[in-house]
């Protein structure tokens, strides 16, 4: 991964160390005590893929799309509907993933061909309208999607919590279905991320960056910008769909709030901006920081508030109920001190 990163831009030892630390933390997550670390690690894995696929559009091609959560939701619902209507087997998963990918690619192609010729702001509004319509449709088709309640489903036996891969613990860890499911998600996320790295370091990826910098010049030298933008839109949609499948597999549930919410769109936008646009590694850094903050900031503030009980104002200021306030402050500070993102700042040093 570090060797591939050297092809992308200026080397940074601090960035190398941060990436290694994140990978080691994700690999070691099942050994951490409690259920929360594993849940957070799994969420980081599929959100890295989701944010990186969005960076292909925003950071590398200059496309602002608000339909990314729609493709994320298509992947989640594709797996959930297949498991619910067919059976909890690998064959059902393959059918669900195949149909979800087909639907996402067709929608992305149609949206791209009909919308990417217009100005960026109009394309953003069109994708927002399409994503909103899809979210409403998913909520209304209760017989298929479970409506507002979503779908709970069973997964293949190998991925169930009651499954035991080996009877004896390995280094103190019981290898059950949850652990197998986590490492499956981790492996798929790693492969997809490496594939995106390879894509951005290819001539195709450099053409996308040329289109981002000056689409008129790229068109003048012979590149059909609409075709390239449509292709990358389809690629990003397919990867976001696979991220939705990973989310559904981990949660064993899919619903509007977990895949189609506009809050998710804001989250991945923040991940890319905070980490650094046009780097892919920014998605890794941004997703890790944001999800760790969302998961543990409230607990940390509770500890601080209890230690400041003798100071009324500070104790109330650090009350756990105000964690969103401090999260917003952290975002403002990160954007102020890292205007090019954390990865851009580290490379600049």
Q: d(Cα 12, Cα 22) in Å, to the nearest integer?
A: 15
Identify any residues that bridge with 151 across adjacent strands, giving them in sequence order. Answer: 254
Q: Look at 274 and 191; give whichever has higher pLDDT.
A: 191
CB neighbours (10 Å) of residue 332?
A: 10
Domain 2-348: state its class.
Answer: mainly alpha
Mean pLDDT of the residues in the chain? 86
Summarize the confidence of residues 205-211 as an average pLDDT.
88
Q: Which helix (H) or strand (E) element contains residue 253?
A: strand 253-254
DSSP annotation string for 115-140? HTTS-HHHHHHHHHHHHHHHHHHHHH
CA-only gyration radius of the chain, Å:
21
Summarize pLDDT for 150-165 with one digit per residue, the tens: 899 999 999 888 888 8
- CA torsion sign for 134, 135, 140, 142 is positive
Q: d(Cα 238, Cα 236) in Å, to the nearest integer?
A: 5
Q: d(Cα 296, Cα 160) in Å, to the nearest integer?
A: 27
State CA 175 to chain mean position distance: 26
- Structure pTM? 0.91
Whether residue 223 contacts residue 61, with contact meaning beta carbons closer than 8 Å, is answered with no
**pLDDT exceeds cutoff 70 at 349:** no
CB neighbours (10 Å) of residue 87?
A: 13
1 three-class SS: coil
pLDDT of residue 183: 94
320 three-class SS: helix
**Residue 82 CB contacts under 8 Å (≥ 6 apart), including other chains:** 92, 93, 95, 96, 97, 99
Q: Is 249 exposed, middle or buried (0-12, 13-18, 19+ CB in 10 A)?
A: buried
- CA torsion sign for 242, 247, 248, 249 is positive
CB neighbours (10 Å) of residue 9?
A: 15
Whether residue 4 contacts residue 14, with contact meaning beta carbons closer than 8 Å, is answered with no
Summarize pLDDT for 226-263 with one digit per residue, the tens: 888 889 999 999 999 999 999 999 999 999 888 888 88
Q: Which long-range contacts (CB under 8 A, 24 or more apart) does 298-305 make?
A: 298/323, 301/326
Q: Where are the domains of the chain?
A: 2-348
Summarize pLDDT for 24-76 with one digit per residue, the tens: 999 999 998 888 899 999 999 999 999 999 999 988 888 888 889 999 999 99
What are φ and ψ of residue 268, in 5° steps? -70, -30
């Amino acid at each position: 991964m570090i060797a591939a990163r050297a092809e992308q831009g200026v080397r940074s030892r601090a960035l190398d160390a941060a990436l290694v630390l994140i990978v080691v933390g994700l690999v070691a997550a099942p050994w951490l005590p409690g259920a929360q670390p594993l849940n957070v690690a799994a969420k980081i894995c599929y959100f890295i893929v989701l944010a990186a696929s969005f960076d292909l559009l925003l950071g590398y091609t200059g496309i602002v799309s608000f339909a990314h959560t729609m493709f994320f939701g298509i992947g989640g619902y594709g797996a959930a509907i297949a498991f619910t209507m067919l059976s909890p087997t690998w064959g059902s998963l393959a059918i669900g993933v195949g149909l979800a990918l087909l639907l996402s690619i067709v929608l992305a192609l149609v949206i791209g061909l009909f919308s990417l010729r217009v100005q960026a702001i109009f394309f953003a509004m069109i994708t927002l309208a399409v994503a909103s319509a899809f979210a409403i449709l998913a909520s209304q088709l209760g017989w298929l999607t479970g409506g507002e309640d979503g779908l709970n489903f069973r997964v293949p036996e190998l991925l169930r919590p009651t499954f035991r891969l080996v009877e004896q613990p390995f280094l103190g860890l019981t290898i059950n279905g949850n652990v197998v499911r986590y490492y499956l998600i981790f492996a798929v996320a790693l492969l997809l991320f490496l594939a995106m790295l390879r894509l951005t370091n290819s001539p195709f990826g450099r053409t996308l960056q040329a289109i981002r910098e000056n689409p008129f010049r790229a068109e003048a030298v012979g590149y059909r910008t609409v075709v390239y933008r449509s292709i990358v839109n389809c690629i990003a949609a397919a990867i976001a769909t696979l991220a939705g499948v990973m989310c559904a597999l981990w949660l064993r549930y899919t619903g509007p709030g977990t895949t189609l919410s506009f809050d998710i769109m804001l989250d991945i936008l923040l991940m890319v901006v905070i980490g650094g646009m046009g780097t892919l590694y920014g998605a890794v850094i941004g997703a890790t920081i944001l999800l760790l903050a969302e998961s543990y900031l409230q607990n940390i503030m509770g500890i601080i508030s209890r230690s400041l009980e003798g100071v009324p104002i500070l104790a109330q200021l650090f009350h756990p109920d105000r964690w969103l306030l401090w999260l917003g402050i952290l975002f403002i500070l990160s954007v102020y001190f890292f205007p090019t993102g954390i990865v851009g700042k580290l490379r600049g040093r």
